Structure formats: C-alpha cells, structure tokens
A and B are shown apart, each in its own frame.
Chain A
Amino acid sequence: MEQLLEILSDLHPDVDFEECDTLIDDGILDSFDIVSLISEINEEFDVVISAEHITPENFNSAEDLYALIERLEEE
C-alpha cells in the first residue's frame, strides 16, 4: 500500500490519497493519469491491468486500486 500511495502522490502531490474515494467521480484522475498509473503499477507490482479492470469501482480510491492489485497478484 505504501508503494502505491507513493506512485499516486508522485502523480498529484496535492491530493490526499489516503482519504479521497472519488478519484474518478470528481475527475481527479484523468485518462493520462490512468495510463501512467497502469504502466507504473505494472513495473512496481508486476501485474497487468487491462481494459476490463478500468472501471470507476477499481479506481475511485487508493484502497480500491490496491485491492485490485492484490486480486491480480493472486491470479
């Protein structure tokens, strides 16, 4: 989780990713952020996030996103 929070705050140093759960709904992450997030998560965690995983439910908070990474790691 630490690692993920670091990636996220590099992207938007001014957002509190531990609290925010409307990253998509409030337009905090844009499509450019999503693309860079996916490639950085791929490097750090060695999991592949593909199109079908890109939903508001998986990206609205750091917690949701971390849960997705954990699910993909188990697969």
Chain B
Amino acid sequence: MQNHVLDYMDQIVKKCPDKVAFANEKEGLTFREVYEQTRSVGTFLHRRGIYKEPVIVFMNKHPKTIAAFFGVIDGGCFYVPIDEQMPVSRINLILENVKPRLMICDTKTIKKAESFETDAEAVLYEDIAYLEPDVAALQEIRDKAIDTDPIYIVFTSGSTGVPKGVAACHRSVLDYIEQLSEVLQFDENTVFGNQTPLYFDACLKELYPTLKFGATTYLIPKGYFMMPIKLVEFLNEKKINTICWVVSALTMISSLQTFEKVIPKYLKTVAFGSEVFPVKQFNLWKTTLPETDFVNLYGPTEGTGMCCYYRADRLFEEGESIPIGRPFKNTEILLLDENNKPADMGELCIRGTSVTLGYYNNPEKTAENFVQNPLNPAYPELIYRTGDIASRNENGELIFVSRKDYQIKHMGHRIELGEIEANVNVLEGIKTCACVYSKTDEKIVLYYVGEKDKAEVIKELREKLPRYMLPNELVTLESMLFTPNGKIDRKALLAMYEETCISQ
C-alpha cells in the first residue's frame, strides 16, 4: 500500500523522465530534474542531521520551490512555506511557532531571511540542489516513514492576531489527491494552469496530481491576473486544459468582457472554490464554454484542501446559490446543532482521513476545533469543526449558509477580522477599532477611534499584515458603537457603512 506522497514521484520518473513537470512562463523542470533535485535536498538534510522537523522554504514562486518542498519530505522532514510578500513581523511569529533550524532560500530572498528573528541557518537552494544522492540514507529514511508523519505546515489567519499553522500528513494528502483526481478526472494529458500561491494548501491540487499522473503544471505569473487578455492568451498558448482557481480570478476575466475578444480554447475542467461565485458571472463562463466541466469545491485547510464538490452542470437563476454539494468518498460531513445533535441546518463538521493533524505547537487552539465526535462516545475519533453553518437542499446537497464567527472570505483568502483588529489596536494613537466586511461591495471596512491619520494607519498595517488583509475602507469615529450589553455593535457599523458609503 502506498504510504508516502513521493511514491508517486518514484513511479512517474521511470515512466516519463523527460516530460516537463513544473514550468513558469520562461523555464521548466522535467520529472528527472525534479527527482534529482529532490534527492539532493533530502541528502543535504540527512548530512546536517535534520530529520523529522520543520524546514522553512522561503523562495519565490518557481518550479524549483516545488522541488524544494519535495526535497524536504524526502529528507523525512516537513516543509513550511513562507512568502516574500508576507510582512516580516508575521514571518517572525511563524518562526517563533515552528522553531526551525534551517531555511531554504533563493538568491532573491536570502538577504531578507538574514534579518529574521531566528537562529535558523539560511542556505541557498542552488547550493544544495545538485549534490550526489546518498542512496542508502534516503532509502533508510523512506523505510522508516509512517503515513501519519506530517509533510507540511501552512499558516492561516488566527483571530487573536497570531497565525495558526495547520499540519497535514502523507495519509490525508494521499486520500485528498486520490479523491480529487477521480472527481476532476485528471490524467497524463492534464495541463494545469496554477493560480494559487505555493504557501497555501490550495496548490496541492496541482502539485501532487502532476506527480501521480505525469501531468504538467504551469505556474502562471501573478501579474497576468490583472491583465485578462494576456491571461487567456497564456492559457491558449500553453494549451492549459485544467484550472483550479479562486472565484475572484475567474470573475475578473468574465466581468471585463474578455470573452468578446478572446476565449480559452482548451479548457476541459474549471474547478473553483473558496468563495461564492456570483451567478451572473458563473453563467457567463458556462455559456461561453458549454463543453467544459465546472466543479465547485469546498473545504478548509484543516480538512486537507477540499472535502466537498458539486458539478455545476447547468445555468443558475439570479438569487440561487451554487451548492457545495457532497463530500468526497471516504469523508463524512456532519451538520451539528448547538446541542451537538444532527440537524438539517448546523455547523459543518468533517469526519475522516482528510482531517489534518491539528495546529502545530498549539494544543489549546487544536482542542477548540479538533474534537471528539460527539456522536461517538465509544472510542477516540476526532472531527474538525469548521465554524461554517450549512444546510441540505431537497436533493441532499450541502448549501453554505453563513459563518458562526468573524471569519470572512475575501479574494479567495480566509481572514479572521479579529486578526486585523488585534493588529490595529496595538498601533499608537488608536483608542479602539472594529472591522466589518461588506459583502455588497466586497470590502473590508475598518472603523476606528483615535487621532491617527488614515494613511498612517495603512502604512503601519502594511508592516504587520499581508496585503489581502489590509482594510479597503477606513472610517474614523468620534466614539465606538456598542450594543446594550457592551459589545462592539458590528451590525450597526455594517448597516452604517452600507447606507452611507455605498449609496453615495
């Protein structure tokens, strides 16, 4: 039985060594090159005595970054990707959490890495990627591997202001890749066009199926997602037939009338998720590409990527929402009410192999969300509570209803409004603040009381928060609005914003 994600690689490198595995707009790596570099990085870790521990990968989006991930796994460790766009203060929080001994960098990031608050040594990928492999040592590491060993940690927004690191193991990733590949029908002719950053779990959809089938993944430059015509031309030029993108990347194309100028010619599968797809834009895609399969995917990072799917094989009426559908095989979705009883509408909870290991070095937060299945008092069995409220329609399909808390989805990113507030509250000159999210115009609105100038607030926040978490609108208040029992009145703030700012 396969118990290691790199078994995919060992198989495929024998089958199609010279095919391009991962490429960007300029250059690519073949399966043989990926394999050799992976083995070299694994050998390097072994020589340094780094084993069963987190290794930071701090590299720009590039085919070699992916080989670095695999190399870390080959050395019996787990990769922790961080990105140059992340503010240094956030990176320092991550480093404090994982306490790494080693950071793999590229020539562009290594200087910045040396300024981090850590004892970890920074090495250049180029210096460790072309060594002679230690065959015996790598084999011994592989023989000792267990499929419940972690392979990566990715960080998501945390409501207290500290990001949480979700750790996932071989087994849950293998389960995910097998189920996803079946649903989306990947094969050796699949050509992926990757949109999502490599520092989230979203890119699992392309990385591991590429190894499993000997497919090819193109990493699409971020800038193309501003230039819709150039983007579609790139899809056509590379004959990309499969895309798994956030909704906002798809609506950017359709809402700007791109299809009047140029149409994607090879797309067989369009998977989307992380956000609600506006029906008008979805119908535009569906009408333009009637032969293409459109699949809505749903799932939190804590459930290893995605765990539910829905084939959107028809047009939708205005006001109708596209269901999140059914769980993948080998996953069960429970809807639980406040008393932990099964309900028609309730908190969506995940049961199965896809449930990840928990939050790294964070037993308190892990215990809050990874809990004993309340329907099973007989033996230990963890489920993950997503905090999403869902219901079932008359066909038994799951429908997303709302959030239990202040977590939002904005441009495909999962954000805790509390994390933004925690970072605003510590700025000098801020008395109090509150964040709300206006779904009407998709903006994060920050209300604050204090002497500070708006430009100053944004400037200082830029050093603390990733760009997608920066408030889009800032409003100063004489005093904060409170509910009768003394809590910040977010409903009133949101109503105030939607009345005054949007109608203007």
The verdict on B343 contacting chain A, using a C-beta distance below 8 Å, is no
The verdict on B454 contacting chain A, using a C-beta distance below 8 Å, is yes
Which residue from B228, B455, B459, B462 sits with its C-beta under 8 Å from A54? B228
Q: Using a Cβ cutoff of 8 Å, how many contacts connect chains A and B?
A: 55
The verdict on A3 contacting chain B, using a C-beta distance below 8 Å, is no
CB distance from B84 to the nearest CB of A (A): 11
Q: How far is the CA of A51 from the CA of B228 in the complex (A)?
A: 6
Interface 1/0 per residue, B250-269 and A, CB below 8 Å:
00110111101100000000
Chain A interface SS verdict (over half): helix
Which residue from A34, A52, A56 sits with its C-beta under 8 Å from B229? A52
For window 254-294 of chain B, which residues contact chain A by CB distance below 8 Å? 255-258, 260-261
For window 384-434 of chain B, which residues contact chain A by CB distance below 8 Å? 411
- CB-based contact A52/B261 at 8 Å: yes
The verdict on B16 contacting chain A, using a C-beta distance below 8 Å, is no
Contacts of B497 in A (CB 8 A): none
Which A-chain residue is minimally distant from B222 (CB atoms)?
A27
The verdict on B227 contacting chain A, using a C-beta distance below 8 Å, is yes
Interface 1/0 per residue, B442-464 and A, CB below 8 Å:
00000000000011101100100
- CB-based contact B257/A51 at 8 Å: yes
The verdict on B249 contacting chain A, using a C-beta distance below 8 Å, is yes
The verdict on B248 contacting chain A, using a C-beta distance below 8 Å, is yes
Contacts of B257 in A (CB 8 A): 50-51
Which residue from B225, B260, B455, B456 sits with its C-beta under 8 Å from A31? B225
Contacts of A29 in B (CB 8 A): 226
Q: How far is the CA of A31 from the CA of B225 in the complex (A)?
A: 6
Q: How far is the CA of A35 from the CA of B462 in the complex (A)?
A: 21
Q: How far is the CA of A10 from the CA of B227 in the complex (A)?
A: 22
CB distance from A53 to the nearest CB of B (A): 9
Contacts of B248 in A (CB 8 A): 31-32
Which residue from A13, A14, A24, A36 sits with its C-beta under 8 Å from B223? A24
Contacts of A59 in B (CB 8 A): 226
Chain B interface SS verdict (over half): helix
- CB-based contact A14/B256 at 8 Å: no
Given A50-B256, A54-B256 in contact, is the A14-B227 Cβ separation under 8 Å?
no
Q: How far is the CA of A31 from the CA of B462 in the complex (A)?
A: 18
Contacts of A38 in B (CB 8 A): 256
CB distance from A54 to the nearest CB of B (A): 5
The verdict on B108 contacting chain A, using a C-beta distance below 8 Å, is no
- CB-based contact B226/A24 at 8 Å: yes
* B contact residues, range: 20 to 34
Which residue from B222, B249, B458 sits with its C-beta under 8 Å from A12? B458
- CB-based contact A30/B454 at 8 Å: no
Q: How far is the CA of A38 from the CA of B293 in the complex (A)?
A: 30
CB distance from B336 to the nearest CB of A (A): 35
Interface centre among B226, B249, B459 (most CB of A within 10 A): B226
Q: How far is the CA of A28 from the CA of B454 in the complex (A)?
A: 17
The verdict on B111 contacting chain A, using a C-beta distance below 8 Å, is no
Given A31-B249, A31-B252, A35-B252 in contact, is the A54-B229 Cβ separation under 8 Å?
yes
Which A-chain residue is minimally distant from B259 (CB atoms)?
A51
Contacts of B454 in A (CB 8 A): 13
Contacts of B93 in A (CB 8 A): none
Which A-chain residue is minimally distant from B226 (CB atoms)?
A31
Contacts of A14 in B (CB 8 A): 455-456, 458-459, 462
Interface 1/0 per residue, A1-42 and B, CB below 8 Å:
000000000111110000000001001011110111010000
Q: How far is the CA of A13 from the CA of B472 in the complex (A)?
A: 10
Which B-chain residue is minimally distant from A43 (CB atoms)?
B504
Contacts of B253 in A (CB 8 A): 51
Q: How far is the CA of A36 from the CA of B258 in the complex (A)?
A: 16
Which B-chain residue is minimally distant from A32 (CB atoms)?
B411
CB distance from B58 to the nearest CB of A (A): 18
Given A32-B248, A35-B255, A51-B257 in contact, is the A13-B228 Cβ separation under 8 Å?
no
Contacts of B226 in A (CB 8 A): 24, 29-31, 34, 54, 59
Contacts of B411 in A (CB 8 A): 32
Which B-chain residue is minimally distant from A55 (CB atoms)?
B227
Q: How far is the CA of A38 from the CA of B251 in the complex (A)?
A: 14
CB distance from A32 to the nearest CB of B (A): 5
The verdict on B494 contacting chain A, using a C-beta distance below 8 Å, is no
Contact residues of A with B, CB < 8 Å?
10-14, 24, 27, 29-32, 34-36, 38, 50-52, 54-56, 59
Per CB-CB distance, the 4 closest pairs between chain A and chain B, nearest first, are A13-B455, A51-B258, A51-B256, A14-B459
Q: Please, could you name 9 A-B residue pairs with CB atoms under 8 Å apart, sorted by A?
A: A13-B474, A30-B467, A31-B249, A34-B226, A35-B252, A50-B260, A51-B229, A51-B258, A55-B227
- Add 6 more A-B contacts to A31-B226, A35-B255, A50-B257 (CB < 8 A): A10-B473, A14-B458, A14-B459, A24-B226, A31-B225, A34-B252
